[in-house]
Amino acid sequence: MHEWALAEGVVNTALEIAQNKNLRRVKTILLKVGEIQQIDLEVFDFALKELSKDTILEKAEIKYENFPAYLSCNVCGYKWSFYETFNKLNEEEKEAIHFVPETIHVYIKCPKCGSHDFEITEGRGVFIEDVL
């Protein structure tokens, strides 16, 4: 149910942006959704629509761009996709990462050197790209 907490942030922020741009109605909201947070898009979309009711966002089309996540080892330089290591995690570990993506450092290590010291180069969480 993290989706609701994030959706609230999206709606709040989109309203702020729309206001700054003097939009009377929002037609489109462009979102980038990183893989690591494992957002359930159906729940997220439902939450966004519910929370947009009676606002200028109400009829907006919400476009989601999913983007894959990549990790880069700070020790040996190896780069890999989150997807490769994600499948080895159990449900509890996946859930922890869903809530706090940085806990990925607890459950995943560099496939090459075994270090937990790596960087999330792409695909962490949810961002607003634009409000039109």
List residues binding other proteins (CB under 8 A).
1-2, 4-6, 8-10, 12-14, 16-17, 32, 74, 92, 96, 99-103, 105-106, 116-117, 119-120, 124-130
Nearer to other proteins, 84 or 129 (CB): 129
Nearer to other proteins, 56 or 96 (CB): 96
CA 78 to chain centre: 24
DSSP summary character for residue 25:
S
From the list other proteins, Zn ion, none, which binds 51 (C-beta under 5 to 8 Å, kind-based)?
none
- Compute the least distance from the CB of residue 1 to other proteins, in Å: 4
Q: Which amino acid does the sequence have at 92? A: E
CA distance 94 to 87: 9
For residue 73, state whether it binds Zn ion (rule: CB under 5 A).
Answer: yes
Phi-psi bin for 112: left (phi > 0), alpha (psi -120 to 50), beta? Answer: alpha
